[in-house]
Chains A and B, each alone.
Chain A
Amino acid sequence: MKTHSILVVDDELLIRDLLYDFFRGQGWEIAVAENGEKALEILSSRQIDLVLSDIKMPQMDGLALTTEMRESYPDIPVVLMTGYPSVDSAVTALRCQVVDYITKPFNINKLYKVIESKVKEKEG
């Protein structure tokens, strides 16, 4: 069975560690980055099935990362998460063609189901 790969982008170390341990426990390959710029470096060097990114981050935020990815990596689905949800950011996320918009705090099992279904959809 194919091992899935996910890139988690969040400036909060606690969230990165939590998701790293969880996805490793599910048998996934996981890479982590603390902002959009680091995420783009990782995307240029390894194969990733899905990006799960926070919106509010220093340097390059999640919406800027998604905009950049739509140009360079249009086939990689993006799920955005945020502790500061708003209509405006959700509309921007929709326009960036993200596949889901998750509000924090999240239930990790529900989040996992979303991620798993989006990766399976991508695989067809």
Chain B
Amino acid sequence: MADREPEVRRKLADFFEMIGYQVDAAENSQDVLSKAAAHDYAVALVDCRLSGDSGLEVLAELSASYPETSVIMLSSEPTLEIVIAALRKGAFDFVVKPFDLTELTEIVHKAADQHELLKMYQAMSAQGRQDRDAGSRRGACLTKTTG
């Protein structure tokens, strides 16, 4: 949860912890990226205006390096250019401040669900590859034995 306003960080962190999420808060882009490197986050809430790099640059970095993390962008002054940039950089959603907390909660739940699905898909793909490799090795052994 990244926002340069301490009050917003505290309120959102308290709220999402209260409903069962583990929350880390960051106030600037460097802080977000160092935390993302150390944790497997399901969801990132990122304000478009962070100190350091802009929130959109953080979104681009998160999308490229941690594609399984669903990134929700927040903005109090959205422009068409900002929303299109967020769309192109792979944001999961874009929420305009002031937001309705119920609506934001639903979006965060959906984003967390998508993260779960992606992780399951990755695990199944990895298992499929392992099974194919094992099958190839068995085939090779059989060929060697019978040949």
Contacts of A87 in B (CB 8 A): 78-80, 83, 96
Contact among A86, A94, A98, A103 with B86 in the assembled complex (CB-CB below 8 Å): A94
Contacts of B96 in A (CB 8 A): 87, 91
Check B80 against A86 for contact (C-beta < 8 Å). yes
How near does chain B come to A113, taking the closest CB pair, in angstroms?
13
User: For this complex, into which size category does the number of interface residues on chain A fall?
Assistant: 10 to 19
Query: B79's closest neighbor in chain A, by CB?
Result: A87
Q: B26-34, B87-95, B123-131: which lies at the A interface?
A: B87-95
A-B contact count (CB 8 A): 30
Given A91-B94, A91-B96, A98 contacting B87 (CB threshold 8 A): yes
Choose among A90, A98, A100, A101 the residue with the greatest number of B CB atoms under 10 Å from its CB: A90
Contact among A85, A86, A94, A100 with B94 in the assembled complex (CB-CB below 8 Å): A94
Query: B95's closest neighbor in chain A, by CB?
Result: A91
The interface bits of chain A over 52-88 (1 if a CB of B lies within 8 angstroms of the residue's CB, else 0) are: 0000000000000000000000000000000001110
Check B87 against A100 for contact (C-beta < 8 Å). yes
Check B79 against A93 for contact (C-beta < 8 Å). no
Contacts of A93 in B (CB 8 A): 87
Contacts of B78 in A (CB 8 A): 87, 91
Query: B91's closest neighbor in chain A, by CB?
Result: A94
With A and B bound together, what is the CA distance between A93 and B83 in angstroms? 10
With A and B bound together, what is the CA distance between A98 and B88 in angstroms? 9
Query: A96's closest neighbor in chain B, by CB?
Result: B87
Q: Is B84 an interface residue (CB 8 A)?
A: yes
Contacts of B88 in A (CB 8 A): 100
With A and B bound together, what is the CA distance between A87 and B73 in angstroms? 14
Residues of B in contact with A (beta carbons under 8 Å apart): 78-80, 83-84, 86-88, 91, 93-94, 96
Closest 10 A/B residue pairs (Cβ): A90-B83, A94-B87, A91-B94, A87-B78, A101-B84, A94-B94, A85-B80, A87-B83, A101-B87, A90-B84
- Provide a sorted-by-A list of 30 A–B residue pairs whose CB atoms are within 8 angstroms: A85-B80, A86-B80, A87-B78, A87-B79, A87-B80, A87-B83, A87-B96, A90-B80, A90-B83, A90-B84, A90-B87, A91-B78, A91-B83, A91-B94, A91-B96, A93-B87, A94-B83, A94-B86, A94-B87, A94-B91, A94-B93, A94-B94, A95-B93, A95-B94, A98-B87, A100-B87, A100-B88, A101-B84, A101-B87, A103-B80
